[in-house]
Chains A and B, each alone.
Chain A
Amino acid sequence: MPSVDISVNQLIDIFAEDRDTPPTVSTSLGHVMIEIQGDLQHPQKSIDPALDVDSRFIEHEGNGLVRFGILSYDLETKHVTLFIGNKQRLMGSIVKIEPPLGLLKFDKADGTVSLRDVLKYKIIFKNRPLPIM
Chain B
Amino acid sequence: MSVNLYNKLEPETGYKLLQLSDDLLDAFQTGPVKFKALSDDAGNVVLCSEDKTWVIKQRNHSNTVILMNEFAPTGGIPEDKINTFGLPRPGADWAGFSTLDSELEPRLVDGSIDVTQLDIYHGKDVPLTRKLTLQEFKDMCPCSEKEFVSKWFEVGGSVVQGFACLLSERFMLKALHIILISCMAENLDVDSLSIDKVADVLAKDVKQGEPNLYTHEIVTTVINKFGFKVESAETEPDDVRFRINMSLIARWYGVSALKKFAAKEPISEDEFMIQWKGQFPPYFHCDLDICMLRGYFVRPLTNKIRYMSRTTLSLDAKERFKQLFHWQSTWEQADMVPYISDLNTKNLKIDTFIIKYARRKRVGNKVIISAR
Contact = CB atoms under 8 A, between A and B. Distances in A.
Interface of A: 1-6, 8, 11, 15, 19, 26, 29-40, 42-46, 53-55, 57-61, 63-75, 82-83, 86, 89, 99-108, 113, 115, 118-119, 132
A84 B7 CA distance: 12
Give the size category of B's interface with A. 35 or more
- B interface, by DSSP: helix, strand, loop or mixed? strand
B28 interface: yes
Nearest to A19: B25
A37 B65 CA distance: 9
Nearest to B16: A104
A5 to B, nearest CB: 5
Interface of B: 1-10, 14-22, 25, 28-29, 32-37, 39, 47, 62-71, 73-75, 77-78, 81-85, 87, 90, 94-96, 99, 103-104, 136, 139-140
Contact of A6 (B1, B21, B22, B33): B33
A58 B10 contact: no
Contact of B34 (A5, A54, A61, A68): A5
Contacts of A33: 65-68
Contact of B4 (A15, A32, A70): A70
B83 A86 contact: yes
Given A15-B29, A65-B95, A72-B87, A6 B34 contact: yes
Given A15-B29, A30-B69, A31-B69, A101 B6 contact: no
A124 to B, nearest CB: 9
Contact of B139 (A2, A67, A72): A2
Contacts of B84: 70
A103 to B, nearest CB: 6
A125 to B, nearest CB: 9
Given A32-B69, A68-B7, A70-B4, 12 more contacts: A4-B35, A15-B28, A26-B94, A34-B65, A38-B63, A57-B9, A64-B8, A83-B85, A102-B18, A103-B15, A103-B17, A106-B15
B9 A46 contact: yes
Contacts of B68: 31-34
B35 A3 contact: yes
A70 B87 contact: yes
A130 B155 CA distance: 63
Contacts of A100: 19-20, 25
